[in-house]
Amino acid sequence: MGIWDFFHKKKDEVHGARVLVCAFAQRFEGLLKLDFDVYGQYYRATTTQLFPDIQALPARLEQKYDIVHLIADVAESGAIRDASGHEIMGTELVQRCCDQDVKLLWLASDNPPGYTKGLGVRGKRLNLVMTLQRKGANFPNSLKEILSRMAYRETMPIAWHDICPQIPGSEHKRAPESIFFAGRGGVKLWA
């Protein structure tokens, strides 16, 4: 291990991770509260926000969150829409998260499978969860299991693999249907 590795490793150890749980549409208010409550059990610095429109998100990202949990409609093209029909392309959101040193972006609502291709995450230093189907209580239960492990010093890829491994053809009856991209797999997001 060289001197650079020592400094790089410390940067990926976040003590007291800051979390933003947010949504763009009033109809997501119940999911927003549910997911906020789960994060709040593990991360004290958890904030929730129901944005009036999509234009408010970039400014909020500048407040330096480690985890952004977004409940929103994502089109198959990767465009993220608010209730008024305004959009931000998923590639732009991913880049803004990387620019603001967000470590985990979790897209947490039911969305079409094709949207995962429209986010442009390849080569980005960002962990990304792309939800396809929450499957009712499966989502908060799995979220709780993953966060309980991450908050106490486990990396997300290890927690994810143990809870819902991404093995082609495998079925996870107790988990939501989601895809995990580990662009920053070594990061530790401690409580």
- Phi/psi class of residue 70: alpha, beta or left (left: φ > 0; alpha: ψ in -120 to 50)? beta
Query: Which residue, among 46, 17, 18, 52, has the nearest Cα to 34 in the 3D structure?
Result: 46
**pLDDT (0 to 100) of residue 35:** 98
pLDDT band of residue 152 (cuts 50, 70, 90) is confident
Tell me if 34 sits within 8 A of 140, measured CB to CB: yes
Q: What is the pTM of this model?
A: 0.93
User: CA-CA distances (angstroms) from residue 31 to 6, 37, 64, 149, 177?
Assistant: 40, 10, 23, 22, 16
Q: How far apart are CA 48 and CA 33, in angstroms?
A: 8
What is the average per-residue pLDDT within 45-68? 96
**pLDDT (0 to 100) of residue 140:** 98
pLDDT digits (tens, 9 = 90+) for 10-24: 568 999 999 999 999
Residue with the bigger pLDDT between 152 and 66: it is: 66
What does the domain layout of the chain look like in residue ranges?
Answer: 13-165+172-189
Please give the CATH number for the structural domain made up of 13-165+172-189.
Answer: 3.40.50
pLDDT digits (tens, 9 = 90+) for 86-139: 999 999 999 999 999 999 999 999 999 889 888 999 999 999 999 999 999 999
The β-bridge partners of 131 are 178
Helices within the chain (DSSP H only): 3-11, 29-42, 56-61, 90-99, 138-150, 156-163
**pLDDT (0 to 100) of residue 168:** 76
62 has a pLDDT exceeding 90: yes
How many beta carbons lie within 10 A of that of residue 191, not counting itself?
17
**pLDDT (0 to 100) of residue 2:** 44
pLDDT digits (tens, 9 = 90+) for 26-37: 999 999 999 999
Q: How far apart are CA 189 and CA 14, in angstroms?
A: 5
**pLDDT (0 to 100) of residue 12:** 85
Mean per-residue pLDDT of the chain: 91
Q: Quick one: CA dihedral 58, 64, 70, 76, positive or negative?
A: positive
4 has a pLDDT exceeding 60: no
7 has a pLDDT exceeding 80: no
